[in-house]
Chains A and B, each alone.
Chain A
Amino acid sequence: MTDEYGNIWTYRLKWAYTLLVVVTLMMPVFYVMFVSFNKNGQGAAEYVFTLEWYGAIFSDKLLIGALWDTCILAIIATIIVVPFGLLSAKFYKRARYKVMTVSLLLSPLFVPSDILGSALLVFFKNLNKSFEALSDWLGNEWFYGWFDLGYTTAIIGLVIYILPYVFVVILITMGRYREQQTEAARACGAGAWQAFWHVEFPQIRAGIFSSCAFALILSFNEYTRTSLLKGGYDTFTTVLISQFLNEGMSEQSYALSSAVSFIAIAVIGAIIVFTLIRSEKLERVARAKTQPVMST
């Protein structure tokens, strides 16, 4: 509690409200997790704890295949989007027209998923047709199918979706870093890449890893754009929704949703806790730095 704040009960009330909101937001998910352990499914009178629905997940070949595909998409998207985010952050720092740059980089946030998905779908189909025409004109098949709906297009959609988030996270991480260190490294003879790798990267590593986790989770969870752009195969989210629509929410869906949600929450929770611990440590070090040391 900061400031000379008069009423501690108002403070506690506001804290309670904040936590209440968080709990309310999470309530549907917790409920799903709760139901997933129930042998008798949702709404049944009697609650019997079981893990059998989780077991059922692993025996569903289609599901495992979809999960696998989703993992691959997520990993490739992350491998692309995190360096992109880093490049964008650096680009932004030295950009002359900062407002335009950041508007462009954040604009995917403001375009809803279905609109972007639809536009990209039509775009890729057109692109394919143009490339095919080009190929035909050249008399070969080099340019056929570059942008067929499939992995490539789904990854492009994911990268566009995730880029703003990664950009912001990395930018905030880089806020603590002092450019002078890069300059000092250059003054010691290091080239631009060496200076980054030896000096800057170790200091922003934490933020980069957080944004990797963030990107992985976001791509794993994404539905609309992926479903529009993925073409034939299934992803975790498309399997889920076909289950939902066909069978209603089956016990298996509950288990599946819970499992994935639990993993995501655990990962992010771990990162939050980790940064909590780290910042305690850093605070201690920073406090030590500001202690007056005998000048010599």
Chain B
Amino acid sequence: MSADNKAETVAEPNPVDGPERGRWQPAPLTFAGRILGENGLGRWAFFLPVGFLLLFFLLPLSLTYVWSVFERTQFWMEPGFTLFSYNNFFTSARLENFLRSMEHSAISAALSFVFGFPIAVFVRRRVPQVAQHRVILLFILPFMVSELIRVFALRPVLGRNGLVNSVLIDLGVTTEPITSILFTPTGLIIGEVLSFLPFMVFAGFLAMEAVPKYVFEICDDLGAGRIRTFVDVILPLAAPGIFAGGVFIFVNGLGVALLPDILGGPGAVNAGLIATQAITALDFPLAMAVSAIMMTTLLALLYLGHILFDLTKILTPIN
């Protein structure tokens, strides 16, 4: 310690001998203090968001099961127990449509994985640490534009006189406009992939954060080829995140009415569209039945994922 930092202690009076020394008494506990605890109302505030979610999220969704067995009346529904709505759903063309939409959504999820996950791997593995988050933020940009606009914008892009066809014709690749990319399942899948790809990138990136960097170095050291590394190492480690991203896309593909409504062409429906159409037709139990079926599908998938992959691993980067 250098000499100039030594403080004088001999001549100066003790600067800290204040009037409170030795006379501390604990503050008496007020009546309100007794009830509310040390921080007053503050303690209970922390439960507010969770309470809010329980009341306005979990409760309504759980009640869909209850309402789905109510009887339909002209404008509303009657409490009761009937499987009419489920019967209605399962025996009509709706079921076929629903299954077909599941197929489409599954394809969308798979395609999103194929196109999006390599990006996540690339960013995590080869981009310098500090820049990684910024690159991922780039994928927020499309997300900042309303889903409505993004989906609707695909009409002029994929349509007969749209951007894609104009470019293809101008470049001489085709002479006739391609009509199979809009108002068809293909168009629907394109729309879904474009809408949800960023989520797969995010989910993949989060999943990759669970893979420590040294794993790659070990793979390189051991001379594992790129494909082997991918299949044997990356996929299993990142599986929880990939699965979560896939479920997200699948479920949203099934549930967002906008997509088949605008891109899918005549007769294209998914569960979400069936539900909203039912509400417009004032058939509330049916809408609730469809919602309940969707919720069950979601829960089943998540449970399956949890058994297979232990989805809680995704959360490690957040901790």
Residues of A whose CB lies within 8 Å of any CB of B are 1-3, 5, 11, 14-15, 17-18, 21-22, 24-29, 31-32, 35, 42-43, 84-85, 87-88, 90-91, 98-99, 101-102, 104-105, 107-123, 125-126, 156, 159-160, 163, 168, 171-172, 175, 191-193, 217, 220-224, 228, 237, 240-241, 244, 249, 257, 260-261, 264-265, 267-269, 272, 275-276, 279, 283, 296
Contact = CB atoms under 8 A, between A and B. Distances in A.
Contacts of B53: 104-105, 107-108, 160, 163
Given A91-B49, A260-B149, A296-B2, 9 more contacts: A25-B142, A110-B302, A115-B272, A122-B288, A123-B63, A163-B53, A223-B146, A228-B279, A269-B141
Interface stretch (B10-18, B22-30, B118-126, B168-176): B118-126
B147 A221 contact: yes
23 contacts: A2-B127, A22-B139, A25-B198, A28-B153, A29-B153, A42-B156, A43-B161, A43-B166, A108-B57, A114-B257, A114-B273, A115-B271, A115-B290, A115-B294, A118-B287, A119-B64, A160-B53, A172-B318, A220-B146, A228-B279, A264-B145, A276-B134, A283-B130
A126 B64 CA distance: 12
Contacts of B198: 25
Contact of B148 (A14, A123, A175, A223): A223
A69 to B, nearest CB: 15
A11 B140 CA distance: 23
Contacts of B49: 84-85, 87-88, 91, 105, 163
A103 to B, nearest CB: 8
A257 B201 CA distance: 25
A159 to B, nearest CB: 7
B242 interface: no
B248 interface: yes
Chain A interface mostly? helix
A216 B113 CA distance: 29
A119 B60 contact: yes
Interface stretch (B38-46, B80-88, B179-187, B232-240): B38-46
Interface string B52-76: 1110111111011001000000001
B268 interface: no
A98 B290 CA distance: 31
A17 B157 CA distance: 21
A257 B135 CA distance: 26
Contacts of A113: 255-256, 272
B43 to A, nearest CB: 9
B76 A168 contact: no
Given A1-B126, A35-B156, A122-B60, A265 B45 contact: no
B94 interface: no
Interface of B: 1-2, 5, 39, 42, 45-50, 52-54, 56-61, 63-64, 67, 76, 115-116, 118-119, 122-123, 126-130, 134-135, 137-142, 144-150, 152-157, 161-163, 166, 194, 197-198, 216-217, 220, 247-248, 251-252, 254-258, 262, 271-273, 275-276, 279, 284, 287-288, 290-291, 294-295, 298, 302, 312, 315, 318-319
Given A28-B154, A172-B318, A237 B1 contact: no
A268 B315 contact: no
A160 B288 contact: no
B126 A2 contact: yes
Given A22-B139, A28-B194, A107 B152 contact: no
Contacts, number: 249
A90 B129 CA distance: 27
A240 B148 contact: yes
A192 to B, nearest CB: 5
B47 A114 contact: no
A119 B290 CA distance: 10
A295 B291 CA distance: 66
B144 A99 contact: no
Contacts of B290: 115
B145 A221 contact: yes
A171 B318 contact: yes
A264 B279 CA distance: 32
A241 B291 CA distance: 23
Contacts of A99: 312, 315
Nearest to A196: B42
Which 4 A-B pairs give the minimum distances between C-beta atoms?
A112-B255, A114-B272, A221-B146, A28-B153
